[in-house]
Chain A
Amino acid sequence: MTALLTVVLAIGVLAGCSDKTRGNANTTAPTTGEQTSTSQGSSSGLSIAKVASKPCDTLTAAQVAKLGTVAAGKAGTNVLGAECEWKGNDAIKNSTYSVTVTEDKDVEDMVANVKSSPIFQDKKSDGVRLITNDGSDGTLHCSTIVEVSKTDSVTVYVAVAADERPAKPACPEAEKVAKMVIENLRG
């Protein structure tokens, strides 16, 4: 009797173990799947080689014309890398745009730094990962990070001028410019 009970208990314990193992395997599987999809996302087919030292080449003249009344692109640098800024002619009437090319800086780390922002969207557009975020409510300014590879990225920052705010919500505007930049990073 006691022997039988032990056997039954042992089977129960074994069954529990195998269940647990299977459970663990199941919870691990989706995580691996996600990682795979992320690494697929980083092979975006884009390259910043052409623009790394020429940030103003991230937008063509025709694309810049679509931004509104802005001054010619002015190249410079900021903490994230080489930057080109197209400043609105009039601080009240015309919005200001900036594109920064970042090399050798972990994109995931940068995303983690802005993740707590009131506006945060992480999505894919035509196979390219776009992370849009704003530290405020997205009416005055917004930015979009384009993931080129695990360590290369482009950050678009838009500051929408007062008169343009009703017609240009900042976050869709930043994404629009990000998509323009992507066109020039292909091939």
Chain B
Amino acid sequence: MLMFDAVVPVVAGAVAGAAAAGAAAAGAGGAGTAKFSVDPDQAQKMIDGLKQAVNKLVELQKQGLMLKQSGAPGPDPYSGYATLAMRQAAGDQPGGYVWANDAAQKALEQTIKNIEKALAEYRGTDEAAQAALKG
């Protein structure tokens, strides 16, 4: 089995508790990691799936900007207030959507790299073992 660290974008104490249950060690920048294992034959499938997830986040982030640029849903004052509230919820401040999407993207990217590294190491060890047996 391949062991790798999955990065979890932890927000605050409440979520940190949940992450700790998954045997996580708190990392820098509020992010945590959890140890996972995957069958080497399935690792590539997992990487592909996570990359698709990154693509989805990229797409959603883009749609978010387009909505922001397009502005208030209507000229009435209520729509205007709704836009202000949406802007806050959609913004880059901690807890806002742009921020959460960025954090999730970075966490997935690091997780993909960790699996790729584990897979490369596994293949390297495997080849070395085969060479040793042949020798």
Q: Which residues of A contact B (CB under 8 A)?
A: 78-80, 87, 90-92, 96, 98, 100, 105, 109-110, 112-114, 116, 118, 135-137, 140-141, 143, 145, 155, 157, 159, 162
Closest to A110 in B: B69
Residues of B within 8 A of A98 (CB): 62
Cross-chain contact of A136 among B58, B70, B92, B109 (Cβ < 8 A) = B92
Residues of A within 8 A of B52 (CB): 91
Closest to B97 in A: A135
Decide if the interface of chain B is mainly helix, strand, loop or mixed.
helix
Given A118-B92, A136-B92, A159-B62, A91-B71 contact (CB < 8 Å): no
Residues of chain B in range 68-118 having any CB-CB distance to chain A below 8 Å: 68-71, 87, 90-92, 98-99, 102, 105-106, 109, 112-113
Number of interface residues of B (CB under 8 A): 28
Given A92-B113, A136-B102, A113-B65 contact (CB < 8 Å): no
CB-based contact B69/A145 at 8 Å = yes
Given A109-B71, A113-B70, A145-B69, A78-B63 contact (CB < 8 Å): yes
Report Cα–Cα, A116/B62, bound state, in Å. Answer: 17
CB-based contact B71/A135 at 8 Å = no
Residues of A within 8 A of B64 (CB): 135
Cross-chain contact of B92 among A79, A110, A114, A135 (Cβ < 8 A) = A135
Residues of chain B in range 40-70 having any CB-CB distance to chain A below 8 Å: 51-52, 54-55, 58, 61-70
Closest to A157 in B: B62
CB-based contact A87/B55 at 8 Å = yes
Decide if the interface of chain A is mainly helix, strand, loop or mixed.
mixed
Residues of B within 8 A of A110 (CB): 69-71
Report Cα–Cα, A48/B105, bound state, in Å. Answer: 34
* Minimum CB–CB distance for B75 against chain A, Å: 11
Candidate in B54, B64, B70 with the most chain A CB atoms within 10 angstroms: B70
CB-based contact A113/B71 at 8 Å = yes
CB-based contact B51/A79 at 8 Å = no
Report Cα–Cα, A118/B98, bound state, in Å. Answer: 12
CB-based contact A159/B66 at 8 Å = no
* Minimum CB–CB distance for B91 against chain A, Å: 7
* Minimum CB–CB distance for A177 against chain B, Å: 14
Residues of A within 8 A of B54 (CB): 91-92
Cross-chain contact of B58 among A80, A91, A116 (Cβ < 8 A) = A91
CB-based contact B105/A79 at 8 Å = no
Residues of B within 8 A of A114 (CB): 65, 68-69
Residues of A within 8 A of B58 (CB): 91, 96, 141, 159
CB-based contact B109/A92 at 8 Å = yes
Report Cα–Cα, A116/B86, bound state, in Å. Answer: 14
